[in-house]
């Protein structure tokens, strides 16, 4: 009786484990050194982007402002986009298709980038892009030199990273 019960129990455990999904280890990322395409506004506004806390769902963008000659107040918004490096060419990462009625939008706000300091912006792209596979990516953030209503310059800044 015990042997029969033990055999049934083992068979049930084997059946249950067959359908179980294997969990994939979390991918980690890191910024890429010496891979950056310089932007003339980095020097003009004294602004450079760096990255930290990178994983397959998001990262933290660090706006490092020092020197430069911005004519107004620097700021950025919630909006970002991602590109993947495909054999030396940057291509837009496609956004997830959501069911009809689900709005894909960003908050319309201005986050100040303070002079002579670091400003951090946490970015989670899981809703927009899902979990990213391994690859070489860059994030695009728009930065504005705001002097007044209707009087501003807006420039795209990039920071590159790799997911392994």
Which of 23, 21, 27, 97 shows the shortest CA–CA distance to 57? 27
162 and 135 Cβ atoms separated by less than 8 Å: yes
Residues 6+ positions from 142 with CB-CB distance below 8 Å:
76, 77, 79, 154, 155, 156, 157
163 and 135 Cβ atoms separated by less than 8 Å: yes
pTM value is 0.78
39 and 157 Cβ atoms separated by less than 8 Å: yes
Length of the chain, in residues:
164
Sign of the dihedral through C-alpha 57, 79, 158, 146: negative
Give DSSP secondary structure letters for 81-99: EEEEEETTEEEEPPPPPPP
Question: Three-state DSSP class for 13?
Answer: helix
| Domains of the chain: residue spans and CATH | 28-163 (2.60.40)
pLDDT in tens, the chain (164 residues): 434 433 333 333 333 333 334 445 556 778 776 666 778 899 999 999 999 999 999 999 999 999 999 999 999 999 999 999 999 999 999 999 888 777 777 887 889 999 999 999 999 999 999 999 999 999 999 999 999 999 999 999 999 999 98
């Amino acid at each position: 009786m015990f042997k029969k019960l033990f055999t049934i129990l083992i068979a049930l455990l084997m059946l249950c484990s067959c359908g179980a999904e294997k969990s994939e280890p979390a991918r980690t990322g890191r910024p890429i050194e010496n891979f950056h395409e310089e932007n003339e506004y980095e020097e003009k506004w004294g602004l450079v982007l760096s990255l930290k806390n990178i994983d397959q769902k998001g990262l933290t963008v660090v706006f490092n402002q020092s020197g430069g000659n911005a004519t107004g107040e620097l700021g950025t918004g919630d909006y970002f986009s991602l590109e993947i490096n495909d054999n030396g060419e940057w291509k837009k990462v496609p956004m997830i298709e959501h069911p009809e009625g689900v709005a894909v939008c960003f908050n319309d706000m201005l986050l100040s980038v303070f002079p002579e300091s670091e400003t951090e912006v946490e970015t989670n792209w899981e809703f927009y892009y899902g979990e990213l596979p391994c690859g070489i990516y860059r994030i695009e953030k728009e930065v504005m030199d705001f002097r007044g209503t209707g009087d501003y310059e807006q420039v795209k800044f990039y920071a590159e990273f790799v997911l392994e």
